[in-house]
Amino acid sequence: MVFIAPAQPQDAPAIAAVHVAAWRAAYAGIVPQVVLDSLSEVQRTAQWRRILAAEAGWTLVARDGGRGGPVVGFVQGGALRDGDAGPGDGEVGGLYLRPDRRGRGLGRALMAAAVKRLAADGMARLFVWVLADNRPARAFYAHLGGVPDRTQHDTIGGKRLREVRYRWDGLPRL
């Protein structure tokens, strides 16, 4: 059984560990290897402490086995931060699972929990940015009903990477 609930400040190290492991597994061959090799759980923990303490946005964690179980995935979201955002535009800014937990329904469960939270906050549309070369994640978002609506470029470790934004007009029923 997986238990999904808002992250607590003390979850920062566990979220950082999932974040680093998921990046290394999902972005090998996409993000420069030197960047993946230099990821640090200690640095990520510090970042997550700041994110969890911030007023803006929210983070939900999935725990194995119930309320006190280990964190195996997380989703972070809030209001869309893009320049073209309108009222009611919500965003999932990050969705990451421990690599051994992929492909078993956990991503869908975290997206469903995120959509519930967005609905409670009065959001009416959903947006997600994804690296264009992250084909499995793009197929996942397309499978859940997202449509590509914009692209932009970001530079990570000196490599220019294309990102695609997926859009749902109306929050999806997951």
Ligand X SMILES: CC(C)(COP(=O)(O)OP(=O)(O)OC[C@H]1O[C@@H](n2cnc3c(N)ncnc32)[C@H](O)[C@@H]1OP(=O)(O)O)[C@@H](O)C(=O)NCCC(=O)NCCS
Chain residues that interact with ligand X, rule: CB under 6 A: 22, 26, 95-97, 102-108, 130, 134, 136-137, 139-140, 143
- The distance of closest approach from Cβ of residue 104 to ligand X in the complex, given in angstroms and rounded to an integer, is 5
For residue 98, the tally of other CB atoms under 10 A from its CB is: 21
User: What's the closest the beta carbon of residue 92 comes to ligand X, in angstroms?
Assistant: 8
Query: Is residue 113 within 8 Å of 75, Cβ to Cβ?
Result: yes
Interatomic CA distance for residues 13 and 45, integer angstroms: 5
Nearest distance in Å: CB 139, ligand X? 3
User: Which lies closer to ligand X via its Cβ, residue 55 or residue 76?
Assistant: 76
Token pair recorded at residue 146? 């997202």
19 versus 125: smaller Cβ distance to ligand X: 19
Query: Which tokens in the block code for residue 62?
Result: 């999935």
Residue among 55 and 61 whose Cβ is closer to ligand X: 61
User: Over the range 18-47, which residues count as b (16 or more CB within 10 Å of their CB) and which as e?
Assistant: bbbbbbeebbeebbeeeebeebebeebbee
Min dist CB 163 to ligand X, Å, is 9
Which residue's CB is nearer to ligand X, number 99 or number 122?
99
